[in-house]
Amino acid sequence: MATTEYTRRELFEAARDHLGQPAAEALMAVTIPANTDLATRQDLELLRAALLVELERLRREAADHRAETTAELAKLTTGIEKLRSELYRWFLPAVAAVVGVVGYVTG
């Protein structure tokens, strides 16, 4: 039987008539209000299972992103090392040559 506000009010009045006002109020305080949705243990277990599946999916996705990030970092590190090598091979000798020319011209 579905509980409505009308049936809750009837219960309160009957309890008040037989048990007194304080007992009736205490009874209503522990009675579920009308039209209240409650989760069952099965509902909670289904939700728990769904959350565990989603958590595992997110863990796999995070691991994939971590692997991709590690691979990209390795590529960037290699690129930086190549640029550093080019810098030492071309730029520094060019600077030395310019310094030598400036020294020759001003010397």
The predicted-structure confidence for 35-90, as pLDDT tens digits, reads as follows 788 889 999 999 999 999 999 999 999 999 999 999 999 999 999 999 999 888 88
Q: Kindly state the DSSP code that residue 32 receives in the 8-state scheme.
A: P
Those residues with Cβ within 8 angstroms of residue 33's Cβ, 6 or more apart along the chain or in another chain = 8
Rg (CA), the chain: 39
pLDDT confidence band for 3 (50 / 70 / 90)? confident
Integer Cα distance of 72 and 67 in angstroms? 9
pLDDT in the model for residue 1: 58
